[in-house]
Amino acid sequence: MPDLIPLSAALTAGLRWLYETEQPSDAWMNHHGEQIPVLGNRFLAFVPTSVGGLPVIVIGVVKPTRKEGPRGDMVPTNPLTPIELPCLAAELERRGYAVRSTWNGFPGPTGSVGLARPAHPSQVAAVDRYRAGCQEHPARSVFCECDAWRAGFVRAVRPVALAAA
């Protein structure tokens, strides 16, 4: 498992990756983006493009636990706290990244912040290549396991998160 780092350091690394890192033209990335594990059983995921073509940052519980709720449904026992998603959105704004919306969050295990500025064009292109699926085996789409398909993921540049805050 990667080293756990403070949320602030993960946010710095992820934003740098999202907006400043150029992806190779022959690399692709999963549409779920890249995750950085942080202290406190949390992760940040940086998604270059989602609905509307804009990036999303997700904060989530690494190891969610659940119990049966009063209506028989499963409810989180270790959800995000009520302040985590609003604090993440406020920190992004403080750093100069305009937030267009937030969703989910408490009492759930994940919350999302939609940003207003598009990610680096090569990041978006890498996700678009992923969504196009394996070109050698089109019938397998994104579920291919051939060497050529796996190699595209290996070529992708990942975020570099350092333990310094």
pLDDT digits (tens, 9 = 90+) for 38-56: 999 999 999 999 988 999 9
pLDDT exceeds cutoff 50 at 2: yes
**Residue 64 CB neighbours (<10 A):** 16
Indicate the Cα dihedral angle 27, 154, 59, 101, nearest 10°.
0
% of the chain residues with pLDDT over 70: 96
Query: Could you give the CA distance from residue 79 to residue 64 in angstroms, rounded to a whole number?
Result: 7
Question: What pLDDT sits at residue 164?
Answer: 46
Write the single-letter amino acid at 139. Answer: A
What's the Rg (C-alpha) of the chain?
17
Tokens found for residue 10: 């993960």
> 47 by DSSP, 3-state: which?
strand
Q: What is the pLDDT of residues 115-163, one digit of tens each?
A: 999 999 999 999 999 999 998 999 999 999 999 999 999 999 999 876 5
Query: Could you give the CA distance from residue 119 to residue 133 in angstroms, rounded to a whole number?
Result: 21
Could you write out the DSSP letters of every residue in 25-64?
TT----TT-EEEEETTTEEEEEES--GGG--EEEEEESS-
Question: What pLDDT sits at residue 1?
Answer: 46
Contact 134, 149 (CB under 8 A): yes
Question: What pLDDT sits at residue 130?
Answer: 94
pLDDT exceeds cutoff 50 at 165: no
Query: Could you give the CA distance from residue 90 to residue 83 in angstroms, rounded to a whole number?
Result: 10
pLDDT band (50, 70, 90) for residue 98? very high
Average pLDDT of 87-108? Answer: 96
> 8 by DSSP, 3-state: which?
helix
**Rounded mean pLDDT of the chain?**
92
Query: Could you give the CA distance from residue 60 to residue 56 in angstroms, rounded to a whole number?
Result: 13
Contact 134, 147 (CB under 8 A): no
